[in-house]
Amino acid sequence: MSHPHALPLKSVAAATDSFLADLSPKAACRVEAKVASCDGMPLLCAVEAVLGEALPKRVTQELVWLSGTPRTGAHVLQLQAFGPHNVLLAEARHEFAG
């Protein structure tokens, strides 16, 4: 199955890595990643690879695929980190060309 456009796997991984670099891993209890894209599974796998490497095992990871193309026609990555008592520590939203 070939895609006419290459998926932004490296860009998604780099955005995830940058998000985590700005976050104190000790403070996070849960990290949530949402991808909106027709091709969300490979993008979520790229996010999961970075999270698995960077986060302590005690940090819960939630990966969500919002299937369907966003209105912009881009791939959208939303990242949120939560601390104790579900306090939002950080969030980021990235769009990548489709």
**Mean pLDDT on 6-11:** 92
Local confidence band at 1 (pLDDT 50, 70, 90 cut-offs): very low
CB 60 within 8 A of CB 31: yes
* Residue ranges of domains in the chain, CATH in brackets: 9-96 (3.30.1330.90)
Q: Which amino acid is at 3?
A: H
Give per-residue pLDDT as tens, 23-61: 875 689 999 999 998 888 999 999 999 999 999 889 999
Whether the pLDDT of residue 5 is over 70: the answer is: no
CB 47 within 8 A of CB 16: yes
Element holding 50 (H helix, E strand)? helix 40-54
Q: What is the pLDDT of residue 21?
A: 92
- The token pair that represents 67 in the structure block: 């299937």
Local confidence band at 83 (pLDDT 50, 70, 90 cut-offs): very high
Q: What is the pLDDT of residue 88?
A: 95
CB 82 within 8 A of CB 28: yes
Count of H-run helices and E-run strands, the chain: 2, 4
Whether the pLDDT of residue 2 is over 50: the answer is: no
Residue 8 burial by Cβ neighbours in a 10 Å radius (0-12, 13-18, 19+): buried
* 3-state class (DSSP) for residue 53: helix
Q: Is the pTM of this model over 0.75?
A: yes
